A and B are shown apart, each in its own frame.
Chain A
C-alpha cells in the first residue's frame, strides 16, 4: 500500500477504471496534455490517447450534455467541471436531464456519468473559485451527490461512481487535495455511495462534517478529548444525497447533541437538511438544540485573506460551539 494524497488517489482511481473498462473516458477543459488545472488527470492523455481524455471547448452545458449522450451510447464518461463555481451553465443538463432520464423513461434509459467538480474556499480563489455548491444539487432526486474527504475513500468512491448506473456529482475540496497523505489500497477497497463513516467514536457530542471542515472538526475533537475529556463522535456523510440518515441518527441517539459544520452558506444548506432530519426523527433523544456552523449568507469568500478566513468557520468557532453543546 502506498501513501497518497487526495489528488493522487483520484488520479489513480481514474487510471485504474480506464485500464479495466474501455468505455470509461474523461472530458473537460484542459484535462488533456495539461493534465487539468489541478493535475488530477496528469499523464492520462499520454496513456489513453486524445479521444479518451478529451479536451473540450469551454462550454459546461456541452461537457455534461455530451457526456449524457456518450453514456446512452455505450460509454462511461467522467466529465470534469474545472471549478464548481462554473457549473451553473450545466445545471439544466444535470438537474433536468441526467437526473431525470431514468425516471421519465420509466427505467428505460440510464445515464452512467460522473461529474467531477473541485469546490471549496482556497486562498486566492475569491468569489468564483471557492463556492460550495452542493445545496443546489441536493434537492434533485435521480442524482447522487458525493463529497468524500479522505484519499482512500475518494478513490474507492470514484470507482463506485463510475460503475454506478446513475449520474453522480463528485465533489472534491480543493484545499484538501494535498493536505494529507494516507495509505490508499491498490484495489479491492470498496466504498458504496450510501454509507456515512464514523471517524471517531464518542458519547458526548455528535459532529457531522465534510470537506476541509471535517479536518478542523477532528482536530478540535482530539483537543477537547485530551484537555477536557469531552468525547465527540465525528460522522462524515461522504454521500450528501441521498444521505445515509441511519448512521447520523444512531450517533445522535447516543449523544443527544448535534453540531453540523460545512463551508456552505448556511441558509438552505445540506446542514439544514441534516438538522431537520435529526429534529424530526431523534427529537426525543435530543438534549440540546441542533447547531449549524457554516459560511454567513454573503455571496462567497472574498479575495483578501482576512475576509476569506472570516468567511470559513474557524477552529475557535467550532470549539466554542462544541463546548456550548457539551454544557447542556
Chain B
C-alpha cells in the first residue's frame, strides 16, 4: 500500500527513473564536493568554506526545473548544489575555493560561493545579503517585455527577507506579474541568530500581501520542493506571475569555516536534524521504490568520490593569476 502511494508520488510529478537518479546523483555530488572543501580547509589549503550541507534537496529540487543557459539563476552563497546541477563543475568549484586563475566565477577575485557563469545565465553574485532580488525582478521584466518564456529564480536564506530589497522586489514582481520564483532556503539560522528573532509571522504567507502565491514546503524532501518549484516555474512561463517558495531546512554545518557554532546551538539539535538529512531521506525513498540498491549506491558514490578527488587535485596544482591581474577588467572597453 505505502509503496504504491509513494511510487505514485514521483509518477504524478512525471519524473522518470532517470530523472530520480540524476537528482540523487546531483545531491550526492554537491555533498561530496562540500565535504572535500572542508578537508582542504582543515589542511590549511582553503582559506574559507561556506557550505550547502543540509540544503541539497531544496536546491536541487528547485533548480531541476530550470533550463540552463535560458532561464536565469540568482543564487546565494550556499547554492553550489544548484550551480553544479546547472552545469558548473566540481573542478571549477575547487578552483574557486582555492582562488586559482581558472576559477570560473571570478578568476580568483571573489570568495568561494560567489557564483557566476555567463553561458549558464548564473548571474554573478556577491556578499551583501538581499541585493539579488531587485536584480532578479529586472531580469524577469526583460523577459516579460520581449514576450519570451524565460523565468528567473532568485535565492537566499531566511535573513535575506528581512531587508528592504526583498520586499521591494516582491512588490514590484507582484505589480507586474513577473516570471520570477523567490526561493527562500530557511535553514533556521542567520550565523547565530535563530529564525524566531529574524522572521515575524511566516515568510511564505507574506506573498499573499503582494498578490501572488506563497508556499511553505519541507525543504528536506526533494520531491516536495521539486513539485512546488515545478508549479511555480510553469506558472511563470505561462505569464501568470511570481511565486514565493519557503523551503524549511537546516544548516548542518557551522555558518562558515570561520564560525564556531558551539557558541550558540546545541549538539542535540544538530543530531536530531541529521536524522532528517535530505540525502538519506531520498535514498530511503529510492530504496523503498526499488529504484536504487546498496550496490548501485556504493558504485555511484565511489565514482563521485574519485572524480571529486581528481577535481580537487587539479585545483591544488593549478596556478594563481599573476598579482598584477588584480588591475585588469575594472571597466569594459567602450
**A joins B in a complex:** yes
A positions within 8 Å CB-CB of B: 25, 51-52, 56-57, 59, 61-62, 64-75, 77, 89, 92-93, 96-97, 100-110, 141-142, 144, 163-166, 192-193
What's the A-B contact tally at a CB cutoff of 8 Å?
Answer: 140
Contacts of A59 in B (CB 8 A): 164, 168, 171-172
Contact A165 B329 (CB under 8 A): no
B72 close to A73 (CB less than 8 A): yes
B126 and A100 within 8 A (CB): yes
B334 interface hit (Cβ, 8 Å): yes
A65 touches B131 (CB 8 A): yes
Min CB gap B48→A, angstroms: 16
**Is the CB–CB distance between B131 and A107 below 8 Å?**
no
Q: Is B95 an interface residue (CB 8 A)?
A: no
Q: Please tell me if the beta carbons of A108 and B332 are within 8 angstroms of each other in the complex.
A: no
Q: Which of B16-24, B52-60, B108-116 contacts A (4 or more CB under 8 A)?
A: B108-116
Known: A59-B168, A142-B331. A108 touches B142 (CB 8 A): no
A interface footprint on B140-184 (CB within 8 Å = 1, 0 otherwise): 111101100010100000000000110011011001000000000
Docked CA distance A101–B122 (Å) = 12
Cross-chain pairs A/B with CB under 8 angstroms, 29 sampled: A57-B172, A59-B171, A61-B165, A61-B168, A62-B169, A65-B133, A65-B135, A65-B165, A66-B135, A66-B138, A68-B135, A70-B142, A72-B123, A72-B139, A77-B138, A89-B164, A97-B128, A101-B124, A102-B332, A103-B329, A104-B110, A105-B116, A105-B124, A107-B329, A108-B124, A142-B330, A165-B332, A166-B331, A193-B334
Q: Which chain B positions have C-beta within 8 A of A193? A: 334
Chain B nearest Cβ from A101, distance in angstroms: 6
Q: How far is the CB of A67 from chain B (nearest CB, A)?
A: 6
Please determine whether A165 and B123 come into contact, CB atoms closer than 8 angstroms: no
Partner of A102, one of B110, B134, B330, B334: B330
Query: Nearest chain-B residue to A160 (Cβ)?
Result: B334
Q: With A and B bound together, what is the CA distance between A92 and B132 in angstroms?
A: 11
What residue in chain B is nearest A141 (Cβ atoms)? B330
Q: Is the CB of A97 within 8 A of B135?
A: yes
Contact status A104-B124, CB under 8 Å: yes
Contact check, B143 vs A73: say whether CB atoms are below 8 A apart.
yes
Instruction: Decide yes or no whether B333 CB sits under 8 A from chain A.
Output: yes
Q: Least Cβ distance of B303 to chain A in Å?
A: 31
Pick from A62, A73, A100, A192: contact of B172, CB under 8 Å: A62
Q: Which of B106, B131, B135 contacts A106 (CB 8 A)?
A: B106
Q: How far is the CA of A144 from the CA of B135 in the complex (A)?
A: 20
Q: CB < 8 Å: which of B72, B118, B146, B333 contacts A105?
A: B118
